[in-house]
């Protein structure tokens, strides 16, 4: 089938002048070297579908599916092409017009029906809790590369709805706990709240909040994404000073609420106001600024730039600034730091071959730095890099910068 991509003026495609400066920034082009697996090539395909000169064929879908949506091309582009918007619109059309093979449909349906819902994810993982209590889970961890990376499953205790500031209140903030992060990265969330409280923030964590909608939007399920956005707008109080998030992909999505709901007569103004308050936790703490930590960590850390933090939000220096304030921590730069690790939301589940290649590339660069710890400001990146380092035979710790900061505060607070 042919026909225009939804909500895209034709001029959006014409912003691309085909200079090719995006090629060296694109992870799939670096791996495959094929034009149609570059941003320039994919824009050509999207424009052809939009203008009706090319159908939404399996080959077209394959090239679009292989895109990580990392938006590194936007950073490299001198013409300001908003590639992410083009890709999201194209995937809405793919979801509407293309019937995928049965196994692919099943896998994508499982992802969309489980991962955005913490209760469902906990139910799915509940049998592992039984295995953990009987000591059998350690055997499973040694045999399965993904199960090995799960935290202890007794860490699912929800955050308090209100965590008071330590000392005089400097800000009253809302904390976005995430969906998968509530289950798999519960300790990272707790560390985030501790650090915010330690720095004079009263933290409000609404228990009824849901998925930000990013997983749905990136899969082309626009209606589900907008419904998720509306639910969060209904959940978070309007009198908060700041909305803080510790997941780069979620932060990029939350900052889009104003744009995505601009045509909604009921939610447009609220969405715009909400997005204006959203800050990544590293961005917020660097601006605050923080109370200097006193704990000496004595570790050599390299920092991976999460795509939706560096390219999607333009935040690069804030995490490094925070890490440099930790006594004893030596920060070493990582080659290709802002090249995608292959996580990309659920990409490592839908495109495992490419994801493994990109993860191996990332692991090789990390090991070349001689670092004894890796910092990454996105849960998906953390999980992906842990797998890659384990496969490379050197499972050094991979932590969120907020966890390292939390460790540096603990000796003083003890």
Decide: 311 and 338 in contact? Cβ < 8 Å: yes
The fold for domain 293-413 equals Rossmann fold (3.40.50)
Q: How does residue 219 score in pLDDT terms, banded at 50, 70 and 90?
A: confident
Residues 146, 152, 158, 164: is their CA dihedral positive or negative?
Answer: negative
| Cα-based distances in Å from 351 to 215, 341, 368 | 15, 13, 26
pLDDT in tens, 298-344: 999 999 999 999 999 999 999 999 999 999 999 999 999 999 999 98
pLDDT in tens, 103-144: 888 888 888 888 888 888 888 888 877 787 777 877 777 776
Q: How does residue 43 score in pLDDT terms, banded at 50, 70 and 90?
A: very high
pLDDT in tens, 247-256: 999 999 999 9
Q: How is domain 155-286 classified at the architecture level of CATH?
A: 3-Layer(aba) Sandwich (3.40)
- Sorted by where each begins, the domain ranges of the chain are 11-99, 103-150, 155-286, 293-413
Q: Domain 11-99: which CATH class?
A: mainly alpha
Q: Is 10 exposed, middle or buried (0-12, 13-18, 19+ CB in 10 A)?
A: exposed
Considering only 45-59, 62-76, 395-409, which range has the smallest mean pLDDT?
45-59
Considering the entire predicted model, what is its pTM?
0.90
Q: Whole-angstrom Cα distance, residue 237 to residue 197? A: 19
Q: Do domains 11-99 and 155-286 have the same CATH topology?
A: no
């Amino acid at each position: 089938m042919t026909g225009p991509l939804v909500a895209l003026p034709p001029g959006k495609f014409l912003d691309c002048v085909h200079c090719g400066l995006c090629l060296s920034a694109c992870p799939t082009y670096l791996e495959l070297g094929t034009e149609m697996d570059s941003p320039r090539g994919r824009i050509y395909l999207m424009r052809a579908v939009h203008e009706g000169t090319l159908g939404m064929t399996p080959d077209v879908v394959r090239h679009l599916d292989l895109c990580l949506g990392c938006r590194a091309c936007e950073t490299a582009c001198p013409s300001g092409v908003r590639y992410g918007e083009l890709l999201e619109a194209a995937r809405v059309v793919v979801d509407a017009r293309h019937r995928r093979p049965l196994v692919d449909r099943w896998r994508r349906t499982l992802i969309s029906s489980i991962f955005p819902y913490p209760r469902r994810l906990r139910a799915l993982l509940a049998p592992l809790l039984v295995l953990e209590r009987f000591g059998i889970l350690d055997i499973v961890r040694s045999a399965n590369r993904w199960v090995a990376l799960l935290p202890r499953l007794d860490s699912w205790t929800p955050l308090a709805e209100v965590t008071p500031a330590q000392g005089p209140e400097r800000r009253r903030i809302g904390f976005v706990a995430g969906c998968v992060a509530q289950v798999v990265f519960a300790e990272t969330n707790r560390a985030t709240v501790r650090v915010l409280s330690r720095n004079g923030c009263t933290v409000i964590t609404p228990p009824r909040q849901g998925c930000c909608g990013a997983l749905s939007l990136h899969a082309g399920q626009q209606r589900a994404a907008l419904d998720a956005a509306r639910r969060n707008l209904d959940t978070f109080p309007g009198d908060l000073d700041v909305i803080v998030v510790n997941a780069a992909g979620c932060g990029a999505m939350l900052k889009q609420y104003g744009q995505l709901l601009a045509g909604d007569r009921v939610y447009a103004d609220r969405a715009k106001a909400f997005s204006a308050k959203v800050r990544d936790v590293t961005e917020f703490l660097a601006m605050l600024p923080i109370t200097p930590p006193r704990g000496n960590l004595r570790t050599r850390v390299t920092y991976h730039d999460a795509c939706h933090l560096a390219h999607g939000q333009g935040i690069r220096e804030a995490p490094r600034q925070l890490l440099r304030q930790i006594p004893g921590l030596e920060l070493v730069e990582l080659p290709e730091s802002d090249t995608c690790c292959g996580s990309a939301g659920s990409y490592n589940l839908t495109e495992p071959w490419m994801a493994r290649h990109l993860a191996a590339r990332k692991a090789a660069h990390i090991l070349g730095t001689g670092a004894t710890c890796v910092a990454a400001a996105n849960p998906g990146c953390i999980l992906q890099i842990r797998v890659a380092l384990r496969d490379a035979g050197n499972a050094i710790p991979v932590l969120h910068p907020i966890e390292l900061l939390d460790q540096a505060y603990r000796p003083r607070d003890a």
